[in-house]
Structure 1
Amino acid sequence: MAPTAAARLSIVPPPGMSAGGAPPPRRGRRHPWGGIPLACCPQSPVGGGARLRGLLLTKATTGGDAGVHVHVKAGGSGSPVGGAPAAAVAPGLTPTGTFQVGLLAGAVAGTAVDVVLFPLDTFKTRVQAAGTAAVARAQLLRGLYAGIAPAVVASAPAAAAFFGTYDALKRVLADTIPDGHGRYAPVAHMLAAAGGDVASSTVRAPFEVVKQRLQAGMHASSGDAIRSVWRTSGFRGFYAGYGSLVLRELPFDALQFPLYEALKSRWAARRAASGHPDGGRLQTWQTSACGSAAGAVSAAVTTPLDVVKTRMMTQAAGTVPYKGVVDGLSRIAREEGVAALTAGLVPRVVWIALGGAIFFGGYEVTKAHLTPKVLRMEQRRREEGRAFKL
């Protein structure tokens, strides 16, 4: 549970009126009444400051047009709430607001990565689909943007589904799990990432099937790929490899996100300990570097699962299908050698390392831009409920 601290009420008389009937102060000066302590106002750290939860006081009236303006300050040092700028002490985003910010930021970041790094993904897919078969280099490098349309269409909703779910679950779980903001924060991050994976994979799977078939050169257009899958397998064909997709994403994100959060926390702590004036807050390039490192490690570890997922999604009609992830892993290792399970490792690591830098950098920038806007919208909606009369 977050520590509590006292807040102070500074009651400022309105223009033309002073405390106890005294003459009004000179223009440009303010004579607040003595602060009245309010004990036990729960706070939680947000961006190095304090966030007051519960009832915040904005304005109180004494009758008529005269008003007594009430300002709430955390520990006597916060900014006024009523009519204050964005830096004022205020409650944080609600779970709904957190979901909205994560959804939009994830959509922007995911689309940026897919558009910029799609050729690396195509090259990786072709290497994995070919396995140990000899493939001409020209064929590997031809049409590297094949399948970009379904990828872009899926990118925004899939990334939005993941990050909207991840941010909302991370917040709820961190508040629910004992010491979820401290020692057991990685547990909250892993569980939140797992929930995000299920949501994202459900949205992405049909687009991924079409995209990878186009990347592997099995069809000439998205329309041909869709008709072929429907004709041979029906609706279930669009979720071929769904289990392998989820099982690939779960360990990937179970590694990536706790590692990403830990790298950010440690780097910020070191900056704060060294006396940086911004209190250790990371810059965009530093956040991107953390995302890149976390993504590279996770990509290398989960490459065998990615190989199986690619094979299941690009199986041609008439071939013996893989019965699942375990069957795929064992068959590939038995028939082609263990080395086949690392096919595409280098382009996958490079792709995700670069993608992590772009994705997390773009995600954090977009999130930082959207958060105050959504917070102001929520504050306006709650404003009337925070006012009371003295």
Structure 2
Amino acid sequence: MADQKSSTTPPPPPPHFFVWREFLWGAIAGAFGEGMMHPIDTIKTRIQSQAILDSKQKSKTVLQMVRSVGSSDGLRGFYRGFAPGITGSLATGATYFGFIESTKKWIDESHPSLGGHWSHFIAGAMGDTLGSFVYVPCEVLKQRMQIQGTESSWNLIAMKSKVAMKPGSPVYGYYTGMFQAGRSILKEQGVRGLYAGYWSTLARDLPFAGLMIVFYEALKEVTEYGKEKWKYSSSFLNSSVEGLVVGGLAGGMSAYLTTPLDVIKTRLQVQGSTIRYNGWFDALHRIWLIEGPTGLFRGSVPRITWYFPASALMFMAVEFLRDQFNDNNVREIAQASLSVESSDSEGSLEEAS
């Protein structure tokens, strides 16, 4: 009888029981990082797209661009494209962290020969690929709105460039908001316009997403090794603080290494209906030929400046949410399981007596 009762004890939750939470934590963390760092992303996009708007103008430095945006558009100019940026980050953060956890478990169990770092790289790349179906159209909308600034400053660019502001013109019309921008691009260029630079986005984001999670996991291992070796234990260096520091380093290193891919993607997405670059390889060849290595690494400083804190905040938020919710739920389920087992054992003793 005791064996029958103990067999009815509910099994412990499977390893993937809390994976769905990673989608939610990732979405919140992704939007949090994007929202905090959007003004810096605007400066990076403006610097990288200068050659598209006016090839004769001397490229501005980071500080010059900050002053330019501030004087012409005010604070509002730094937050142009905020809505599509947040929308895209929600989708990317959710799929990135959700599929990292589930894919890592699947690869480690079914293909153990791949090793830890390879499984991390593949998991990060897969998560980012799935998020790209939402992220890329949002990125197109965000970047085109970022380079426009206010309507008056965009009209001034049109006058200087001597282009007509109408559908089919070299420079597209002014976008008043996210949905109006989406409808306008669909009308003028179709679905292809919303997915402009899709393959160049994947060419940038797959190595970036894979490298970032590899760097993050590797730096966490180094941190754990250091704590064990030096017997360091402090409540200050909890998982949230560790995620802040390690996540920032991982994001900054990955951002710098993939800057050339980001430059190509930005140029392809903001060029509009007049095709200046005929695809990824043509953009790479022409940027290298005309601008040299400097052109390929244009905007690397604001890109690192954006990704270092954005990644730090994102990983910190994920680790904090994991600590606050996932661990609590695990403890609750464990306690519930123990209480069921103890009640079953008491019942068995009573029957035996």
Q: 2:287 aligns with which of 332, 335, 342?
A: 332
Q: 2:312 aligns with which of 357, 370, 375?
A: 357
The reply on whether 1:196 has 2:124 as its aligned counterpart is no
Single out whichever of 373-382 and 123-132 deviates more from structure 2: 373-382
1:102 corresponds in structure 2 to 22
The reply on whether 1:146 has 2:77 as its aligned counterpart is no
Deviation at 1:281, TM superposition (A): 7.8
Per-residue CA shift, 1:39-87, capped at 9, x if unaligned? xxxxxxxxxxxxxxxxxxxxx8589xxx8x89xxxxxxxxxx99xxxxx
Q: 2:35 aligns with which of 115, 118, 135?
A: 115
Looking at both structures, which has the greater relative contact order when contacts are Cα pairs under 8 Å and sequence separation is at least 6?
A: 2
C-alpha separation between the residues in 1 aligned to 2:29 and 2:108? 24
Kindly tell me: are residues 242 and 379 of structure 1, through their superposed partners in 2, closer, same or farther at Cα, counting changes over 3 Å? farther
C-alpha separation between the residues in 2 aligned to 1:179 and 1:381? 37
Q: 2:106 aligns with which of 159, 168, 172?
A: 172
Single out whichever of 201-210 and 280-289 deviates more from structure 2: 280-289
C-alpha separation between the residues in 2 aligned to 1:221 and 1:315? 19
Identical residues among aligned pairs (%): 31
Alignment of 1:1-390 (within 5 A): 61=2, 91=12, 93-95=14-16, 97-98=18-19, 100-131=20-51, 133-134=57-58, 137=65, 138-141=67-70, 142=73, 143-178=77-112, 184-217=115-148, 219-277=175-233, 282-317=238-273, 319-372=274-327, 375=330
TM-score (norm 2): 0.76
C-alpha separation between the residues in 2 aligned to 1:227 and 1:158? 22
Contact 1:332–1:340 (CA under 8 A) maintained in structure 2: yes
C-alpha separation between the residues in 1 aligned to 2:336 and 2:279? 50
SS at match of 2:90: helix
Structure 1: which amino acid aligns with 2:311?
G
Deviation at 1:222, TM superposition (A): 2.0
Contact 2:227–2:233 (CA under 8 A) maintained in structure 1: no
Deviation at 1:320, TM superposition (A): 2.1
SS at match of 1:337: helix
Contact 2:30–2:89 (CA under 8 A) maintained in structure 1: yes
Point out where structure 2 has 5 or more consecutive residues left out of the alignment. Answer: 149-173, 349-353
Contact 1:269–1:280 (CA under 8 A) maintained in structure 2: no
Kindly tell me: are residues 209 and 382 of structure 1, through their superposed partners in 2, closer, same or farther at Cα, counting changes over 3 Å? farther
Structure number having the greater helix percentage: 2
TM-score (norm 1): 0.70
**Rg bigger for which structure?**
1
C-alpha separation between the residues in 1 aligned to 2:84 and 2:25? 20
SS at match of 2:49: helix
Structure 2: which amino acid aligns with 1:206?
P
Kindly tell me: are residues 337 and 228 of structure 1, through their superposed partners in 2, closer, same or farther at Cα, counting changes over 3 Å? farther
Deviation at 1:160, TM superposition (A): 0.4
C-alpha separation between the residues in 1 aligned to 2:81 and 2:32? 16
Structure 2: which amino acid aligns with 1:204?
Y
Deviation at 1:96, TM superposition (A): 5.1
1:12 corresponds in structure 2 to none
Kindly tell me: are residues 160 and 352 of structure 1, through their superposed partners in 2, closer, same or farther at Cα, counting changes over 3 Å? same
Per-residue CA shift, 1:158-196, capped at 9, x if unaligned? 21012111111011112222266xxx2001101111111
Structure number having the greater strand percentage: 1
C-alpha separation between the residues in 2 aligned to 1:140 and 1:364? 35
2:155 corresponds in structure 1 to none
Kindly tell me: are residues 62 and 221 of structure 1, through their superposed partners in 2, closer, same or farther at Cα, counting changes over 3 Å? closer
